[in-house]
Amino acid sequence: MLEFLAKGGVLVTPILFCSVLALAVFAERFIRFTVLGRRGWWVADRVTDHIAEGAREAALQTARESRSPMGRVLMQGIEVMYQDRETLETVLVHAVEEEVRELSRYLQTLATVANIAPLLGLLGTVIGMIKAFMIIQEMGGKVNAAVLAGGIWEAMLTTALGLAVALPAMVAHSYLTARVDRYEARLQTGAVGFIKRLAALREN
């Protein structure tokens, strides 16, 4: 297999590097999201219950001990819970955005790999075709069909590799982006529920 890939030229190496990078990013984010999927989504209800009971410190401790995105968002909300609603909303929006940025880490790298892998493959093909035509020129037009065919398939190999890397990378990026969107929606729902609960308590 290595001997076969080596025939694709120097650009096979960066394309393979892109594949390893894409796999590493996907594995890291997938494990991260799997862990987060089991942690912390219950914390919004418990924190608001503590707030309703007037136990601010208990609410803060519950949010901290959850060690979850939702917990970190609510911690920032609890710190300014006695300030005006506009300040509270601003703080919570900023906190949600911070968590979304953290969840989206490395996704741009995955998107970049999906974009450049086929371009690297195309560049490799162009370089291979240039070499093939140089051989034709050197042979004075007396081209052996087998030699020409061999040069062409070697040139096309990089394009195939580039697409083979780009397509899974695109699918992985779309999948992870969808999961980030779902987490963002959950964080926003928890933040809105926290604001509504505080507003109800203030009215009472």
Model-level pTM? 0.83
Arithmetic mean of pLDDT over the chain: 85
pLDDT of residue 146: 64
In 3D space, the residue among 104, 134, 82 whose CA is nearest the CA of residue 36 turns out to be 104
Which residue type, as a one-letter code, is found at position 110?
A: L
DSSP 81-138: TTS-HHHHHHHHHHHHHHHHHHHTTTHHHHHHHHHHHHHHHHHHHHHHHHHHHHHHHH
Q: 65-69, 114-118, 151-155, 196-200 — which one is most confidently predicted on average?
A: 114-118
Residue ranges of domains in the chain: 2-199
Lowest mean pLDDT segment, chosen from 15-24, 85-94, 149-158, 179-188: 149-158
For 89-129, what is each residue's pLDDT tens digit?
A: 999 999 999 999 999 999 999 999 999 999 999 888 888 88
Which of the two residues, 116 and 158, has the higher pLDDT score? 116
Across the range 185-197, mean pLDDT stands at: 88
Across the range 138-145, mean pLDDT stands at: 67
Angle between helices 85-103 and 12-36 (to 10 degrees): 140
